[in-house]
Amino acid sequence: MKISVAMGDGIGPEIMGAVLKIFEAVKVPLEFEQVAMGKQVALAGEPTGISAEAKSSVESTGILFKGPMETPKGGGYKSVNVTARKMWGTFANKRVYRSLPGVPTALGRPLSLTMVRENIEDTYGAIEHMQTHDVAQCRRLITRPGCEQVHRYTFEMAARKGAHRVTCGHKANIMKQTDGLFLEAFYAVAKDYPQLKADDVIVDALAMHLVTRPEQFDVIVLPNLQGDILTDLAAGLVGGLAYAPSANIGDEICIFEAVHGTAPDIVGRDLANPTALLLSGTMMLRHLGLSDHADLVELALEDTLQSMHARPDLREPLPVFSTSRFTEKMLSFLAVRPAPKGTARMPERMPRREPVMRVSPGPDRTLMRGLDVFLESALPPKVVAEHLMGIHDQLKLKMISNRGTQVWPTGSAFTDCINHYRVRFESDEGVSQRAQLAVLAACADRFTLCGCEWLREIDGRRGYSLAQGQA
Ligand code: NAD
């Protein structure tokens, strides 16, 4: 079986080089097709950072094993890592945290924990706009099919590995629509797995529990951004980013990579630790039915780390890590063991009860109730309201908020305002799109508009949040 391999940027070639040597030593029955992806491809003018050959290779092999890739901060090309995950539909990012012999852990006790991060939606849609000179907006889309997909994968994986508990982390107490949907979909999917205990924890409390009593958790699933942050926290618990592997799981294509980045501070200094990439590689081997090869590599890894970190006196500082010494030790351990037998096979596809990307069945019970207009104005809220009162018979001016806090009809003189308002027009009945557009046009006659959102009632439930302070 052929798989695609991208060496990556920064320390990527150093650690991938080490891992490929180790795989060769255990005679992994895979052909590694090297593909061009990352910084050099992006700088050469391909904005995705993925060359045409890399795209066709990954789409034909279905497996990408990749080193870390650099993303410029602030401006420049978009993250190649995120583009790859999204473009190839890898909706779940599975990260396994396991303390390793010889590697000191933050809490000084063993830990085994699996986290799944939703991989496509959330703020990682990076749908961003400057609304005014001073106001930037990121549109955070969370979808029911996207949530169902990641939750279904999480429960299925948890059931297969014999887990006892699946916990959903979220912030649905504040983001009642978006995180609310993530949580609702979690419990809807949980009903199909009665053998697993399903519960939820608000993400800030989850952070605290993770650093005090992580062993109470088994499998945790999180929205994308919260997952990004808490999975790095979990990496800290098992010894740092150098020990955190990951698998990006899609129905057709899977990407295996370390959690860490390109480590620009240690490039070319023989300090890069290949463990996270190696463990991502053993996740890949297991995914391809090569468990015996994975077991042998992990056995050698445990032995290698233990011997590299051996200190006769535990008060001594850990010896400085060396990539070349690590690789030599791994290879000498493997040299005296027979390579396992076995051939690779593509795993079965995730069971789907019904097509995942779909529209909700049954009649669409959406009622338009009004609109939020975002506008730029340096006038005080009361004066903005005076300009907009009575502009439509059916759609009444209901409230004005500034940065999400209601400032009209009631508010506090102590609320700091900036020159960007949300103005809500609402009706007690359903309204036509034409009526909504009429309000928008009337607002445009009076102010510079920055954007708008329709207010919908869906299945009898208000489909929009109230402003802070709105009744
Ligand atoms: P980083 O993970 O590269 O480095 C953070 C710290 O951890 C550094 O001190 C680094 O030396 C250390 N470190 C990381 N991996 C190590 C390893 N294998 N061995 C020893 N030490 C290691 O994070 P960063 O500095 O914030 O990001 C650098 C670049 O990597 C950025 O361009 C970022 O966008 C990119 N990045 C890529 C990925 C990916 O490819 N999946 C993930 C995260 C960051």
Q: What secondary structure does DSSP assign to 234-293, as a single string?
A: HHHHTTSGGG-EEEEE-SS-EEEEESS---GGGTTTT----HHHHHHHHHHHHHTT-HHH
Q: How do residues 282-300 score in pLDDT, each as one tens digit?
A: 999 999 999 999 999 999 9
Give residue 62's pLDDT band: very low, low, confident or very high (50, 70, 90).
very high
User: Picking from 258-267, 323-332, 359-368, 409-418, which range would have the lowest pLDDT averaged per residue?
Assistant: 359-368
**Is the confidence at residue 53, as pLDDT, over 90?**
yes
The single residue listed with the structure tokens 């097509």 is 355
Q: How many contiguous H segments (helices) and E segments (strands) does the chain have?
A: 13, 18
Q: Are 91 and 156 in contact (CB under 8 A)?
A: no
Query: What is the position in ligand 1's atom list of the atom closest to the CA of 80?
Result: 40
Residue 166 vs residue 347, higher pLDDT: 166
Q: Under a CB-based contact definition with an 8 Å cutoff, are residues 296 and 120 in contact? A: no
Which pLDDT score is estimated for 294? Answer: 96
> How much is the average pLDDT of 132-157?
94
**pLDDT for 470:** 74
User: How far apart, in whole angstroms, are the C-alpha atoms of residue 357 and residue 367?
Assistant: 23
- 97's tokens: 């945290």
What is the band of 310 on the pLDDT scale with cuts at 50, 70, 90? low
Per-residue model confidence (pLDDT) at position 349: 56
Cα 277 to middle of ligand 1, angstroms = 12
CA of 57 to the centre of ligand 1 (A): 26
Answer yes or no: is the C-beta of 279 below 6 A from any ligand 1 atom: no
* Spatial contact of 271 and 308, defined as CB atoms under 8 Å apart: no
87-114 pLDDT, tens digit each: 998 999 999 999 998 888 888 888 999 9
| pLDDT at site 348 | 62
Closest Cα partner for 126 from 271, 4, 6, 228? 228
268 lines ligand 1 (CB under 6 A): no
The residue whose CA has the least distance to atom 6 of ligand 1 is: 263
Q: Is 260 in the pocket of ligand 1 (CB under 6 A)?
A: yes
Residue 199 CA, distance from chain mean position: 20
Q: What is the DSSP letter of 182?
A: H
* Residue 443, amino acid: C
**Do residues 166 and 151 lie in contact, with contact meaning Cβ atoms separated by under 8 Å?**
no
Give the model's pLDDT for residue 313. Answer: 64
Residue 377 has pLDDT above 90, yes or no: yes
- Among 260, 280, 321, name the best residue to mutate to test ligand 1's pocket (greatest count of ligand atoms within 8 A of Cβ): 260
The H or E element spanning position 168 is: strand 165-170
Maximal C-alpha separation, the chain: 85
CATH class of 1-90+248-351: alpha beta
Strands in 405-408's sheet, in edge-to-edge order, are 405-408, 396-402, 420-426, 366-376, 448-458, 461-462
What 438-442 contacts at long range (C-beta under 8 Å, 24+ apart), as own/partner pairs, is: 438/392, 439/371, 439/373, 439/391, 439/392, 439/395, 440/371, 440/373, 442/388, 442/391, 442/392
Strand 2-6 relative to strand 136-141, pairing: unpaired
Q: Measured from the CA of 69, which atom of ligand 1 is nearest?
A: 40
pLDDT tens, residue by residue, 231-264: 999 999 998 889 999 999 998 899 999 999 999 9
Give the pLDDT score at 344.
82
Q: How far is the CA of 11 from the centre of ligand 1 (A)?
A: 9
pLDDT(354) > 60: no
Q: How many CB atoms lie within 10 A of CB 34?
A: 14
DSSP letter for 360, please. P
What mean pLDDT is reported for the chain? 92
Identify which of 371, 420, 419, 366 has the alpha carbon closest to the alpha carbon of residue 392: 371
C-alpha span between 15 and 357 (Å, rounded):
37
Q: How far is 266 from 323, CA to CA, in rounded Å? A: 11
Ranges of CATH 3.30.70.1570 domains, the chain: 366-462
Residue with token string 């299925």: 156
CA distance 222 to 226: 6
Q: Please give the CATH number for the structural domain made up of 106-237.
A: 3.40.718.10
- Among residues 221, 154, 176, 55, which one has the least CA distance to residue 463? 176
Ligand 1 atom with the smallest distance to the CA of 66 is 40
What pLDDT score does 350 carry? 54
Question: Is it the case that residue 191 has pLDDT exceeding 90?
Answer: yes
- For residue 352, pLDDT beyond 60: no
Residues of the chain with CATH 3.40.718.10: 1-90+248-351, 106-237
Residue 362's pLDDT band (boundaries 50, 70, 90)? low
Backbone angles phi, psi at 37, to 5 degrees: -145, 150
φ, ψ of residue 276 in degrees (nearest 5)? -60, -40
pLDDT of the residue at 84: 94
**Quick one: average pLDDT of 421-435?**
95
Rg (CA), the chain: 26
pLDDT score recorded for residue 471: 73
Contacts of 412 (CB under 8 A, 6+ apart): none
Residue pair 83/272 in contact by the 8 Å Cβ criterion = no
d(CA 436, CA 453): 10
Q: Tokens in use for 41?
A: 């491809």
Q: Are 106 and 91 in contact (CB under 8 A)?
A: no
Per-residue confidence band for 222, with pLDDT thresholds at 50, 70 and 90: very high
Within 13 Å, how many C-alpha atoms sit on residue 1's CB side?
A: 20
Best residue for ligand 1 mutational test, from 262, 270, 279, 309 (most atoms within 8 Å of Cβ): 262
Q: Which atom of ligand 1 is nearest to the CA of 8?
A: 40
Q: Is the pLDDT of residue 316 over 60?
A: yes
CATH number of 366-462: 3.30.70.1570
pLDDT for 357 beyond 70: no
Q: What's the average model confidence in pLDDT over 299-320?
A: 79
Average pLDDT over residues 350-364: 58
